[in-house]
Structure 1
């Protein structure tokens, strides 16, 4: 045997002579491999010839080296194991230079010099099909390509480089398949877990990174056996994916498809221990087993629980219905033997219009039996189920019941529904019996879909409205014409004031009662100048200051005033009738219990409009306050709003309620971002600059953090978080000061490293011809920064809340080329200023509410800016400032889902947040 092998090897070494050697690309089940062949296609093992070029010689040497280092002895007959290019990527680089690289038909292979992308396209094969087809496409259109390795594919005799899809590339052909629509999330999850860098093309859905998801415990009713034993499985689920699937494929990143928003979210998932859920169910069973004095009531096998009949009935009637909130219950249709089944009620309503409400009879039809809606709600509240005439306990989806509670209120024996809930009612009711007036209300909502064609013309003003401003004007006009309030919530710098002036100009094309515009005092003269600029024919009066004359209101068309003036003069103002009340920077009425808000609510006007780039800054209570002004009947009392919306959303993170609230307010809030509508606006580049504390600063910061950590935890433990607010606020404020401006707490003995970093960056920016804005939260920081600017002879201005003539400072900064730096507090600089002369911005210390920072940056990044704006946020590493960044991100997601407004605030901090902030 060994002699034979020796002979083969010797024979192999002699080789053969050929004029040309070709390198043929072939494929088998293991992938792409390389053969050396002659011009007839005959496979060659050893080649001796001087006819081939240098590159060919390099390839042959590499092939010989691979074969010589094989673990197997090579014989001439077999030519050894195939050389797979995925195992030897260096060969691909050599083949790129070869003129003799050919396909299986001996035709030359070309190379593409551009990197191409792979797309997973998913489509329905035909209408109404319950299946989906998936294809992996090269460059979005080519199907029949083959993988050479994880970074290279071939199509139509041409090789393309792609982004690395991972070591599982050999299995990528399995992506081309057909699967049930119900398995879409499973398919996407597995595909994206095994392959990298593949784009997704599914209808018009977008792909985003979502927040981490926790698995929900699940109880699956398997069956009831012949002896009436109940077979029950405990599992875990996230969206449509169960625990068995996630654990089998070792999934830690899942695809969640939101068909409502047409989005695919890729979310990290926390594979919780299923044992905890099993243990909880077993604990409940053990309790009832003792109560029934059963010796052996159940059998546990992994996550399968088999209960004998007596215990099973006790568990189902006493416990299962109460577990619906925490557990996802599946298979309740199998409980018919126990006279329990899930039902889907049919809602039937006969509603008529009544001023601000719809009124009438509303019934639920369950399994052919009819109940008044209030009987169902009462019974469900008591027992969590409805008893039918045959004794069956009917289970109704808890979310469905909660939605009914939010929408339908009782008035005597009738059901009352808010006009603003009409879109939600439409979704729920199957048999709709509407009066003629009711149909008109429906048409009003439908009108929002065709505002571009709303028959109103822009009145004569000295401005040409951009396309989005024209739409905003039509939207405002539609609201006013239908006596409905709304909030224009465009980004800062998109011309909300101009759109409002266009609306006022239309109103006063004919004689009308005066309109009142309330605003922060810093905007009074800005409004006056804007009106004179765009429509000098409007009769404008300012009702503000010590010499204000109430008689001038009656002689005016437009009255400009401040929130403080409304609060002080409400007894007089509430007796007047206004054509329109506009609230500019309407976040000033965000606190429903403040005297200013209470005063504004008393103003007498059928038409109400709010202007604000940040309609919600801190919590949902501010949304309630805004709509209490705009449309007082929309949400009922504050207690009802908290019960039906604020608590489920802010406490329980209930996304169904978020979606319902979004639908309810959607027609009455119009928000456009600069990124969407100002295509010609220069870029805004935001960067975070982390700064290390010096030793002295770190020492004092850590001492105070530990002090407050112990103090606050003891306070919360003894008095609860509600009564510990004053200590929490004190701690957070002092730690922010120590992180950014330790000079405040140390009588100047400890200095912040930020000062050095900031002045270095300012000097460099000034030398390069830039103008700079600096925003901070502390007056002492302004003093420190100005002191440093003076030392370096840098001409600057500063502004705080106490500054009176702000406009003259703004004009000086805008027009004086020598004035390079403008320093101000974040809140002062966040409203009503146009500072486009600056293109470099420093946020010296972060604020809880990121929107305030965005507003400040938008003083420069707005219409009129012709340069790229650079915004730098200075963050002291290892301090509360780093934690604020994280909380800003987490607490902004909810409001983005509602109205795309970032938010975070001290008021909405939970005990978990406080633990995070004060920990190391």
Structure 2
């Protein structure tokens, strides 16, 4: 066929599509839905069911019509009882969907032609809290350009958008695509969230979840269900109805029986993670058989006495009284460790004490601990607390004085063991001050008021901080409302001699709030003691700047390197030092007295066994404070390490913390332990995320982060600076400034590389402290759920940053001048929740891109053109951005970067006098400018 004939054929087909779209043709494919899914009907132009002969059509129409004909033909001979009307369901014939879209006569009930949409949509479930006890859930489809809520799935990977009347492709969402509407709920009880998410992840695939700051992760290690003995009832003949079932953590006993589940959602509220794990169910039949054999031993004895036998109905056992009694008293205690007991309160007729335990506590006042006695009451029966705990740990039940047995809830007994400690060599209890609010929940309110009045007032005081009127100290800053609230919280801790962690998101001003507290404290301090602030090396210069800027009345000394004068530290208010210096010089520091010991980026001391952690515990300070945007990065042992420094009496030994909190929460998803731990630490961690204070923030926040060179880097930089300084002076003397432009540009370019990526100029022999600082900041940002843009001027920097991100398992994309699939990368960064970082060069990222998923920008190696820098930041901060954007500029101290930053402050025309987008030649630098930049 010639090209002309092909084109003529295409033209006629186009005309046919146009005609058919106006319903001038006699046949149309109408999209409809019923409870089983989407199906099509063939109708005429009047909308009535149409009959046809597929042989009169050609091409795609013939293919569709022939399929319909074959299905109708089969229905004449067989009846499909699940589909008696022989409807053509599109999920059963997915190959028809592209053909229908191509046909041009695929219509909706409003007689409008349905078209194919562009791109692939992602299905997302968003959960929003509507009260303290309930949530709403909403499914939405997202594309790079829009979000849709009005849609119906045609099959696993095609969805019809009713509003725009297009069909979009999606990733396969699973065979239960027609059940999606069930997950749109206006009121979901928070207590049912775990069950809801377990159903969600079992029934659907390739769906993302958005819920506050939670991260969804997958784990291939199965979570096992637990076999359960369910006491259904005791009838009039005292026969026991015992059902054998299975339980998942924090769900009711019938959950697995009612739903076809194979995945389970483990919600960790402390670490804000949702881990989806496969379910490994127990073989209930095997346990029924085991229990039946156990019962049969007692049944054999019962036969001699003429008693009836056991009746079995599937997994339900009806047990006569005499056999049930033997089973309860002889076997239940040994089975409790392997089986969950459900409904034990129904066993009253078997001398099981079903009274709920009542805790009685009598204590005297103390500072960190209260001492006294505690008993448990079961109705009119009383037993000492530790006798009850010992019996429970040995037998899993408690024998009371009247001979009855108390079957106590295991979680309740574990809580008592967490809260009450036994005094050495005494039959007395010991309660931590920090546990008093939790103990209050277990005893009568009147008794709590009488015995815990002082502690109660302190804890209740946290709720009154917001309304407290205070006068701010003298500082050179106007605090934002949330910062003033943070200062009031810090001051309340100070007034009550309590340690705390200010855990605000990065960029919200933790340093300023701390300086405000120190300004207040030292305005009234009579002790004359200094305070020590330990931090990563990269933050020293920033602390110096902030102290000078906000509170110049506070004197400080930086203890670092060779600058370590023991007499000077006695003369100042604040000692700034690094964690390495604290560790190395702890023999000196442990004998000093401090007003405050403050840890900035306190996650540095998270390793309990490290020398650094042991060193900071030896600091002798009246008050302790921690600052961290990520107080817990990996697991709860880091939380223990933090509070071991802040409030040592809070948790006791590491072994006890692991036994009562870490293992139950991380291994068994113990909700009671989680709630208790949250209540315990809640007053002592103040955390505000950027999204929580958006209204108080400006649209853009810009900050400069300074980094010191390593000794090797500094030596090499100085060698090259001196070389170029002399060489340029000679060049300018010989040729003049205009003729020396290229050599000046070469000098500046090399020095800038040494300042940022020294490895590029030394064959990888010198590492980049700036890259190290950047990665630290990125890890902090990602831990706080931010998406980040990183702009770098040099390809070598893009490669180095990418290598470091890979080492840490951080998902990212990069774009350079050689990148071809740019839109694909942009779409992935914008829509993939796992893709956290976009690393770009100025040439590719400076213009023409919308990257509004990011709310944080890092300028790795500034290009000094302020307009180009702003343009890069505006990739995130532009129309479509619903977040505030924070930008950070990384500057290496003692280098050309710092010099030009200073020059830029006084010479706004620098963007014309230096480099335009880092690609043009030097234009009009004066000899004085060059002397300033390359001089000492």
The alignment's TM-score, normalised by the length of structure 1, stands at 0.60
Distance of 2:536 and 2:61 partners within structure 1: 79
SS of the residue 1:336 aligns to: helix
Distance verdict in 2 for CA 1:61–1:407, change over 3 Å: closer
SS of the residue 2:801 aligns to: strand
Find the partner of 2:51 among 29, 38, 45.
45
8 Å contact from structure 1 (residues 341, 394) kept in 2: yes
8 Å contact from structure 2 (residues 596, 625) kept in 1: yes
2:673 equivalent in structure 1 = 657
Find the partner of 2:333 among 306, 321, 325.
321
Distance of 2:125 and 2:630 partners within structure 1: 38
Find the partner of 1:568 among 587, 592, 595.
587
Distance of 1:464 and 1:72 partners within structure 2: 80
SS of the residue 1:508 aligns to: helix
Query: Which string of whole-angstrom CA distances, capped at 9 and with x for unpartnered residues, describes residues 378-434 of structure 1?
Result: 554454334456643121112211211221345677754322113323433343434
Deviation at 1:552, TM superposition (A): 4.6
> Does the alignment pair 1:841 with 2:793?
no
Find the partner of 2:500 among 472, 475, 486.
486
1:519 equivalent in structure 2 = 534
Counterparts of 1:176-195 in structure 2 under 5 Å? Answer: 189=198, 193-195=202-204
2:858 equivalent in structure 1 = 865
Counterparts of 1:439-588 in structure 2 under 5 Å? Answer: 439=453, 441-448=455-462, 455=469, 459-461=473-475, 472-489=486-503, 497-512=511-526, 513-517=528-532, 519=534, 526=541, 531-532=547-548, 534-541=550-557, 552-560=568-576, 562-564=581-583, 567-569=586-588, 572-573=591-592, 576=593, 578-584=594-600
> Does the alignment pair 1:237 with 2:283?
no
Distance of 1:636 and 1:381 partners within structure 2: 21
User: Any gaps of 5 or more consecutive residues in structure 1?
Assistant: 1-17, 684-771, 776-781, 791-808, 851-856, 870-920
Distance verdict in 2 for CA 1:571–1:813, change over 3 Å: closer
SS of the residue 2:858 aligns to: coil
Deviation at 1:220, TM superposition (A): 2.0
SS of the residue 2:278 aligns to: strand
Query: Which string of whole-angstrom CA distances, capped at 9 and with x for unpartnered residues, describes residues 97-118 of structure 1?
Result: 77766666x7546658478887
Distance of 1:87 and 1:68 partners within structure 2: 14
Distance verdict in 2 for CA 1:83–1:607, change over 3 Å: closer
1:880 equivalent in structure 2 = none
2:781 equivalent in structure 1 = none
Distance verdict in 2 for CA 1:67–1:774, change over 3 Å: farther
2:26 equivalent in structure 1 = 21
Distance of 2:302 and 2:95 partners within structure 1: 74
RMSD: 6.2
8 Å contact from structure 1 (residues 486, 610) kept in 2: yes
**Matched pairs, number:** 714
1:605 equivalent in structure 2 = 621
Deviation at 1:509, TM superposition (A): 2.8
2:647 equivalent in structure 1 = 631
SS of the residue 2:434 aligns to: helix
Find the partner of 2:225 among 215, 223, 233.
215
1:252 equivalent in structure 2 = 262
Distance of 1:817 and 1:124 partners within structure 2: 49
2:743 equivalent in structure 1 = none
Deviation at 1:450, TM superposition (A): 6.5
> Does the alignment pair 1:666 with 2:682?
yes
Distance verdict in 2 for CA 1:626–1:373, change over 3 Å: same
1:5 equivalent in structure 2 = none
8 Å contact from structure 1 (residues 774, 822) kept in 2: no
8 Å contact from structure 1 (residues 543, 550) kept in 2: no
Distance of 2:637 and 2:215 partners within structure 1: 31
The alignment's TM-score, normalised by the length of structure 2, stands at 0.59
Distance of 1:570 and 1:126 partners within structure 2: 49
SS of the residue 1:315 aligns to: helix
Deviation at 1:633, TM superposition (A): 2.4
8 Å contact from structure 1 (residues 813, 822) kept in 2: no
8 Å contact from structure 1 (residues 544, 565) kept in 2: no
Distance verdict in 2 for CA 1:59–1:606, change over 3 Å: same
8 Å contact from structure 1 (residues 31, 84) kept in 2: yes
Find the partner of 1:336 among 342, 348, 366.
348
SS of the residue 2:572 aligns to: coil
SS of the residue 1:429 aligns to: coil
Deviation at 1:316, TM superposition (A): 1.8
> Does the alignment pair 1:345 with 2:357?
yes
8 Å contact from structure 1 (residues 37, 44) kept in 2: yes
8 Å contact from structure 1 (residues 774, 843) kept in 2: no
8 Å contact from structure 1 (residues 166, 196) kept in 2: yes
SS of the residue 1:335 aligns to: helix
Deviation at 1:517, TM superposition (A): 0.9
2:69 equivalent in structure 1 = 67
Deviation at 1:269, TM superposition (A): 1.3
Query: Which string of whole-angstrom CA distances, capped at 9 and with x for unpartnered residues, describes residues 513-558 of structure 1?
Result: 2223153795796455654455443222456889966555543322
Comparing 414-423 with 526-535, greater Cα deviation is found at 526-535
Distance of 1:90 and 1:849 partners within structure 2: 39
Distance of 1:205 and 1:600 partners within structure 2: 31
Distance of 2:287 and 2:599 partners within structure 1: 52
SS of the residue 2:523 aligns to: coil
SS of the residue 1:422 aligns to: helix
SS of the residue 1:664 aligns to: helix
Deviation at 1:134, TM superposition (A): 9.7
1:355 equivalent in structure 2 = 367
Counterparts of 1:818-837 in structure 2 under 5 Å? Answer: 823-824=766-767
Distance verdict in 2 for CA 1:128–1:478, change over 3 Å: closer
SS of the residue 2:52 aligns to: coil
Distance of 2:568 and 2:38 partners within structure 1: 87
8 Å contact from structure 2 (residues 217, 273) kept in 1: no
2:900 equivalent in structure 1 = none
Distance of 2:114 and 2:343 partners within structure 1: 58
